[in-house]
A and B are shown apart, each in its own frame.
Chain A
Amino acid sequence: MIRLFSGDGPRSTILALILIVIGLALAFAPFLFPGVRALETAARICIFVVLAASYDLLLGYTGIVSFAHTMFFGLGAYGVALASTHMGRGFTALGVGTLAGLAAAVALALVIGLFSLRVRAIFFAMITLAVASAVTVLASQLSAVTGGEDGLVYQIPRALGPAMRLDREIAGVTITGKILNYYVVFAISLVLFLLMLRIVNSPFGRVLQAIRENDFRAEAIGYRVVRYRVTATCLSAGFAALAGSLWAIWLRYVGPGTTLSFEIMLDILLMVVIGGMGTIWGAALGATLMVLAQSYLQNLMALAAGATEALPILSRLLDPDRWLLWLGVLFILSVYFFPTGIVGRLRARAAR
């Protein structure tokens, strides 16, 4: 098991338990939590775990701040959407779209990296911001190609759609194409996650960490820092694009709001920071918590508001419409109490 995790286990009993619960819940989500909304949430968690982990590869392990991560995510998603639109529904279209999105993301990351990582890291952050904004504008303006603000709606293979039903029930749940689709998302996300864990724990990952801590020292030992930074940028972009392709396969819709928006970029940043930078596990935890909060905080608050109906001010504060306020409060508290992220905090506790 530890070998599967590349020797980098959770290293904290509490963390291990939480992660086991998350893993099992995701693995059996269609059977444990019936309903469309629960399955949507589970798929979203899988994909955002990969997306946040790929961002952590850059931010946490290499110490590079990028604002273009949603752009790479979007490239993967639009790749699948465009291929499915033009080639018609089919697995070939999914494959071609995924590969095209991946290639575009890696190539763009290579160009941006070579262009800006030679100088200071802050320059890279600004360049990514500029390029990402430009791509977002392009995606919404080139409506003939991208569908503009409306985005693209397309069909995916019948086997993965909700209309397909197997004449079989497992544990009382009818197996639909949507459930198969979920397991495609789950399985690929799991493989990608383990692959990233492998990368950060490889000698290559150690060099990245060394560069993050003291880039000049890493150079003085003989490592070409620019080359490593660019490689990390390309890897991170590639994983983000793959997450985007999964997202497109799952949603059957791609638009600027669901892939390229700056809100998603901030979400990813928060997932990584709350979970714990520089620990791929933290990305998993952060993404899960964040997606759960986004999906269910409103319901929870509706319950709370109902329960406190008699109290004048409190029930107004707990009104479901105020959910963003409470989400903000939760973030501030978590960053205040866990500056090293939840994983950092739990590991520090376990080490004592």
Chain B
Amino acid sequence: MSEPILKLEGIETDIGRYHILSGVDLEMPRGQVTMLLGRNGVGKTTTLRSVIGHWRAKSGRILFDGQDITRMPTPAIARMGLGFVPEDMGIFSDLTVEENMTLAAASGPLSPKRRDRIFAAFPPLATFWRAPAGTLSGGQKQMLSIARAMAEERRLYLIDEPTKGLAPAIVSTMAAALRELKREGASILLVEQNFAVARALGDRAAVMEGGRIVWTGAMAELATDAKLQSRLLGLSVEGV
């Protein structure tokens, strides 16, 4: 097996006085979708933010494609080819959709081919291309947020709860776009509370509990084992 695209070794992260991550170990195989699952407040978002360097891990090592990025500044990590889609979407609402996309392609102009692909995945972005991003609906903002991560060739995507609070129709648009990314062989680390989406997209799953990873395995295994789900995720009815 080739080297993992992302490897976390004993990551511990504090936010202020709070000890959030207490030794996260994770190996993410290349070209697969790894689901990061767990109840609220177990440290999923903090794990993603520790990778991108928003929160600094106080101990442990983060290897991105074999390179140690633990102490690297955030912009340098991003420029190595890491696309991050935060939970709050973080779109620039004063700028137009087009400007948001132009900024996201930090290393050069947005290629027409990529733009067309993004338009195909998210048609509303074509419609509102020149509108201020702040005027988009919640679902459209989420589309823009993911589209921004797709503005360039990335080696790894970190995506935090892309379907949170979205209408079912938009959830399926989102899932389709992620599936398209996956089909192209992208490596994605995805935090997702919607288990149906997680099951449909995930190759592998890592489940967090109390600031560390307590179970890793094939998504299929977790998806078919209701007992395991209920133990790890507190899901009483399969598919909720």
**Contact residues, A200-226 vs B (CB, 8 A):** 203, 206-207, 209-210, 213-214, 216-225
Instruction: Answer whether residue B79 sits at the interface, using C-beta atoms and an 8 A cutoff.
Output: yes
Cβ A209 vs Cβ B95 within 8 A: yes
Instruction: Answer whether residue B94 sits at the interface, using C-beta atoms and an 8 A cutoff.
Output: yes
In the assembled complex, the CB of A223 is this many whole angstroms from the nearest CB of chain B, namely 6
Q: A221-B106, A221-B148 are in contact. Are A206 and B95 (CB under 8 A)?
A: yes
Cβ A222 vs Cβ B102 within 8 A: no
Q: A216-B54, A220-B84 are in contact. Are A209 and B75 (CB under 8 A)?
A: no
Q: A220-B84, A222-B106 are in contact. Are A214 and B90 (CB under 8 A)?
A: yes
Provide the A190-208 mask, 1 if CB < 8 A to any CB of B, else 0. 0000000000000100110
Cβ A220 vs Cβ B99 within 8 A: no
In the assembled complex, the CB of A240 is this many whole angstroms from the nearest CB of chain B, namely 24
Most chain A Cβ neighbours within 10 Å, of B54, B86, B103, B148: B103
**Contact residues, B67-92 vs A (CB, 8 A):** 73-76, 78-79, 84, 86, 90, 92
Residue total for B at the interface (Cβ-Cβ under 8 A):
22
Q: Residue on A with the closest CB to B80?
A: A222
A206 to B54, CA, bound (A): 22
Q: A206-B102, A210-B103, A217-B86 are in contact. Are A222 and B92 (CB under 8 A)?
A: no
- The 8 Å CB contact of B78, one of A203, A206, A210, A221, is A221
Cβ B75 vs Cβ A219 within 8 A: yes
In the assembled complex, the CB of B154 is this many whole angstroms from the nearest CB of chain A, namely 11
**Contact residues, B95-121 vs A (CB, 8 A):** 95, 99, 102-104, 106-107
Contacts of B236 in A (CB 8 A): none
Q: Residue on B with the closest CB to A224?
A: B75
Contacts of B104 in A (CB 8 A): 221
Interface of A is mostly: helix
Contacts of A225 in B (CB 8 A): 75
Contacts of A218 in B (CB 8 A): 103
A206 to B95, CA, bound (A): 8
In the assembled complex, the CB of A218 is this many whole angstroms from the nearest CB of chain B, namely 8
Cβ A216 vs Cβ B90 within 8 A: yes
Contacts of B73 in A (CB 8 A): 219, 224
Interface size, A (range)? 10 to 19
In the assembled complex, the CB of A270 is this many whole angstroms from the nearest CB of chain B, namely 23
A35 to B75, CA, bound (A): 57
Contacts of A217 in B (CB 8 A): 86, 90, 92
Q: Residue on B with the closest CB to A207?
A: B103
- The 8 Å CB contact of A219, one of B78, B93, B99, is B78
Instruction: Answer whether residue B52 sits at the interface, using C-beta atoms and an 8 A cutoff.
Output: yes
Cβ B79 vs Cβ A222 within 8 A: yes
Q: Residue on A with the closest CB to B54?
A: A216
Contacts of A222 in B (CB 8 A): 75-76, 78-79, 106-107
Contacts of A209 in B (CB 8 A): 92, 94-95
A203 to B107, CA, bound (A): 12
Contacts of A210 in B (CB 8 A): 92, 95, 103
Contacts of A206 in B (CB 8 A): 95, 99, 102-103
In the assembled complex, the CB of A7 is this many whole angstroms from the nearest CB of chain B, namely 12
Most chain B Cβ neighbours within 10 Å, of A207, A213, A217, A221: A221
Most chain B Cβ neighbours within 10 Å, of A210, A217, A222: A222
Q: A221-B106, A222-B106, A223-B106 are in contact. Are A213 and B78 (CB under 8 A)?
A: no
Contacts of B103 in A (CB 8 A): 203, 206-207, 210, 218, 221, 223
In the assembled complex, the CB of A46 is this many whole angstroms from the nearest CB of chain B, namely 29
Cβ A220 vs Cβ B92 within 8 A: no
Most chain B Cβ neighbours within 10 Å, of A213, A220, A223: A220
Q: A220-B54, A220-B86 are in contact. Are A214 and B75 (CB under 8 A)?
A: no
In the assembled complex, the CB of A60 is this many whole angstroms from the nearest CB of chain B, namely 11
* 24 pairs of residues in contact across A and B, judged by CB atoms under 8 Å: A203-B103, A206-B95, A206-B102, A207-B103, A209-B94, A210-B95, A213-B94, A214-B90, A217-B92, A218-B103, A219-B54, A220-B74, A220-B78, A220-B86, A221-B104, A222-B75, A222-B76, A222-B79, A222-B106, A222-B107, A224-B73, A224-B75, A225-B75, A278-B94
Q: List 6 additional A-B contacts (Cβ < 8 Å) besides A203-B102, A213-B92, A222-B76.
A: A209-B92, A214-B92, A217-B86, A219-B73, A220-B86, A221-B103
Closest 4 CB pairs of A and B: A217-B90, A222-B78, A222-B106, A219-B74
